[in-house]
Amino acid sequence: MTANSSFWNRSDLPTLACDPFYTSPSGLDALKPGTVLRSRPAQVSFFGRIRHRATSVQLMYRSTDSHGQAEAAVTTVVIPRGKDPATCPVLSYQCAIDAVAPRCFPSYALRHGAELVGASVQAELLFITAALKQGWAVSIPDHEGLNGLWGAPYEAGFRALDGLRAAVGHPELGLAADSPMALWGYSGGGLASGWAAEAAAAHAPELDIVGAVLGSPVVDPESVARRLNASPWAGLAALMIASLVHVFPEAKRIVDDHATDDGKALLGEIEGMSTGAAIRRFRNFDIADFVDISFEDLFALPELRHVFEVTRLGQQVPTMPILLIQGVHDKIVDVVDVDKLAQTYVDGGAAVSYHRDPLAEHLLLYPVRVPISLRWLRGRLANTDRPNSRHSWPALLDTRTYFGLANLVVAAASQIVS
């Protein structure tokens, strides 16, 4: 092994299971959501190896799960250099975690010394850095919670909102409670941002959330499961199923009653995998091969129908303006699902901007939508934009995309600690 490969493959951090910071304290029911339980400084780093100049702190705080029970959650708050925190808008950035393994959570993956766990979360520090260059403080919650519950309804949103409460309520950070705030995420992070946008009015009405960017959100878990089954992306559907078994007792009963021994073993195996590892391991896997009933009979079970119904975005209409971004040729999230969500929000009275990109697919849109998102967020946080719009000019044919991507690289380079 070369010195260079050793550099990239080593891990100097304890896993979350061995780190006492993540131990949930007792007595959470008596505390208000967003109450900070403990804090510590944290060195944020590109891909776990290249130190970032920004000041960052990790907060454990009281939040709420999808069953209304008090729980502990963690966020990493990053403050831009050279800015008075009291004047900073605050952005909650929801990473595209997707995996259920703790080593893929942002509070681990973004710290110096973390193992290289794939591009999904760690590459997003580039996007977060671009937000910091705007002068915004950024809260990066572990929106799947301490147990990696991807796809659970509402609770990812609660963790994002309570993470904002914790950030502005922690005196050492110096952020103002009345700061304008925004939400931003892509794919699984878009789903979490969607739940936060839908829950904000009821769960955290005191927060001044002026906009939310939902990039290719996983609107409909049933649609995604059908679309990805027996495809090269089948591992994403398997990750979602492995998570929902822990959220819904009825989903666990279906596994207990209908999954084969091989199917149960595979679900246990996937819980320790990163997103990339799951995609490789379960490429082209067919759910029907691991249950004792047909695919359609499985999806027709009343218990599963209930799970899919309550995990679909569109349960509530957001009260803040929304930017939806979706590629027409997306192989993971169907553009038809995002079209329906946009119409649901519009019919409910929401101010919706929709970039429906005719050339992009899911992975390509992942980076190229960043300049679009930043422009829209700047307008919302400065209250100078026109929040109702719909356009389909391809991001790949917009010169601003390339200037924006170049600025990402420049911003990242300027934040490297030499």
Range of the domain at 158: 44-220+312-414
Residue 146 belongs to a domain? yes
How many other CB atoms sit within 10 Å of the CB of residue 367? 18
Domain end position, chosen among 253, 279, 310: 310
Residue 349: pLDDT band (50, 70, 90) is very high
pLDDT tens across 283-315, in order? 999 999 999 999 999 999 999 999 999 999 999
Q: Are residues 387 and 319 in the same domain?
A: yes
| pLDDT, position 69 | 94
Domain end position, chosen among 278, 310, 342: 310
Residue 139 forms beta bridges with which residues?
A: 77, 92
| pLDDT, position 276 | 82
Closest CA to 209 of 167, 170, 150: 167
Q: Are residues 379 and 346 in the same domain?
A: yes
- Check pLDDT > 60 for residue 118: no
- In this structure, the dihedral spanned by the alpha carbons of residues 381, 386, 389 and 393, taken in order and rounded to 10 degrees, is -80
- Check pLDDT > 60 for residue 395: yes
| pLDDT, position 8 | 43
Catalytic residue, candidates 243, 362, 373, 385: 362
Catalytic residue, candidates 187, 243, 274, 373: 187
Catalytic residue, candidates 330, 337, 357, 385: 330
The mean pLDDT of 92-100, rounded to a whole number, is 88
Mean pLDDT of all residues belonging to the chain = 90
| pLDDT, position 418 | 56
**Whole-structure pTM value:** 0.92
Residue 112 forms beta bridges with which residues?
A: none
Q: Are residues 281 and 317 in the same domain?
A: no
C-alpha span between 194 and 112 (Å, rounded): 29
Residue 229 belongs to a domain? yes
pLDDT tens across 18-47, in order? 889 999 999 999 999 999 999 999 999 998
Residue 159 belongs to a domain? yes
| pLDDT, position 341 | 97
Q: Are 368 and 398 in contact (CB under 8 A)?
A: no
- Check pLDDT > 80 for residue 9: no
Residue 392 belongs to a domain? yes
User: What are the angstrom distances between the C-alpha of 195 and each of 33, 35, 153, 201, 316?
Assistant: 16, 20, 7, 11, 9
Does residue 362 have an active-site annotation?
yes
Residue 269: pLDDT band (50, 70, 90) is confident
Residue 160 belongs to a domain? yes
Q: Are residues 250 and 173 in the same domain?
A: no
Does residue 187 have an active-site annotation?
yes
Does residue 306 have an active-site annotation?
no
Residue 20 belongs to a domain? no
| pLDDT, position 394 | 81
How many structural domains is the chain composed of?
2
C-alpha span between 375 and 387 (Å, rounded): 12
In 3-state terms, what secondary structure has residue 388? Answer: coil
- CATH at residue 297: 1.10.260.130
Closest CA to 366 of 357, 354, 376: 357
Q: Are residues 171 and 296 in the same domain?
A: no
C-alpha span between 216 and 341 (Å, rounded): 11
Name the DSSP letter for residue 259.
B
| pLDDT, position 14 | 66
User: What percent of the chain is predicted at pLDDT more than 90?
Assistant: 68
Name the DSSP letter for residue 382.
H
Domain end position, chosen among 265, 283, 310: 310
pLDDT tens across 173-232, in order? 999 999 999 999 999 999 999 999 999 999 999 999 999 999 999 999 899 999 999 999
| pLDDT, position 7 | 44
Instruction: Kindly report which listed range (56-65, 79-88, 101-110, 392-401) carries the lowest average pLDDT score.
Output: 392-401
Cα atoms found within 13 Å of the Cα of residue 200, Cβ hemisphere only: 28
Q: Are residues 126 and 88 in the same domain?
A: yes
Q: Are residues 125 and 212 in the same domain?
A: yes
- CATH at residue 209: 3.40.50.1820
- Check pLDDT > 90 for residue 340: yes
Residue 11 belongs to a domain? no
Residue 12 belongs to a domain? no
Q: Are residues 215 and 227 in the same domain?
A: no
What token pair was written down for 201? Answer: 């009015």
Q: Are residues 49 and 165 in the same domain?
A: yes
Q: Are residues 271 and 160 in the same domain?
A: no
Q: Are residues 160 and 249 in the same domain?
A: no
Q: Are residues 372 and 354 in the same domain?
A: yes
